[in-house]
Amino acid sequence: MSDTADRMPVLYLSHGAPPLADDGLWTAQLAGWAAELPRPAAILVVSAHWEAAPVTLGATTTVPLVYDFWGFPERYYRVTYPAPGAPGLAARVRGLLAGPGTPVHDAPDRGLDHGAYVPLVEMYPDADIPVLQLSLPTLEPERLLRLGRRLAPLRDEGVLIVGSGFFTHNLSELSWGSGPDEAPGWSREFDAWGREALDGGDIDALLDFEHTAPAGRRAHPRTEHFAPLFVTLGAGEADLAGQRAVIDGFWAGLAKRSIQVG
């Protein structure tokens, strides 16, 4: 095991819809963030857009992307991201997670979904780092925290673990055309609460966000976009004191808060 100085950080990022590519501010923020990170040997992504139980591994080899969105201009369906597969990382993840009563399944033909490739196109545009996607086997925060803990050893092996969601996510109340500092009250309140909870290391409050956060159910009518945060917190548990927000502000009224642990 390498020392702490060589340990990869863990990320939770708000990934945006395909039109993120047209947002000059956000794309620059993601590219700048990647430039400051140690270069990963591989990337493991847990996306809000893939729920499958038990834990399932996809894109173990390079396969076509999953365009899991509807109603956008054709150009968004022509985006490619032919990152190398990561069969070695898949084997390592199986070893960390598999056990009696906890099987790990494979879906080798399932490509990266937009929660994975949309931000990676901006962060690592050369698509030259192996990427593996891991399903969300549950939306229960405690179980996802434990899952992240089991993945934590990968950080000492050069793997960048990325939880990809959206810090607030209510598509029925999008504010199209609003600026990066503009958002409705419920989104602002949840974002401010989340910032304080993260900065204060209040993991218990975050785990119980549906009850402790203001406008918790309005910010997340369904919780899959907040859920990857708990994988990130579990994998980064040893370094939570060094948690910091790298990106904040809003997009269409949604909080795009994105953090780095370690």
The one-digit pLDDT tens for each residue of the chain (262 residues) are 345 668 999 999 999 888 888 999 999 999 999 999 999 999 999 999 999 999 999 988 899 999 999 889 999 999 999 999 999 999 999 999 987 777 899 999 999 999 999 999 999 999 999 999 999 999 999 999 999 999 999 999 999 999 999 999 999 888 888 889 999 999 999 999 999 999 999 999 999 999 999 999 999 999 999 999 999 999 999 999 999 999 999 999 999 999 999 9
Question: How confident is the model over 66-109, as pLDDT tens digits?
Answer: 999 988 999 999 999 999 999 999 999 999 998 777 789 999 99
End-to-end CA distance of the chain: 16
Instruction: Look up the pTM and report it.
Output: 0.96
Distance CA 196, CA 218 (A): 19
171: CB partners within 8 A, 6+ apart = none
Report the topology of domain 4-261: Protocatechuate 4,5-dioxygenase; Chain B (3.40.830)
Domain chopping of the chain, boundaries:
4-261
Closest CA to 46 of 207, 137, 157, 162: 162
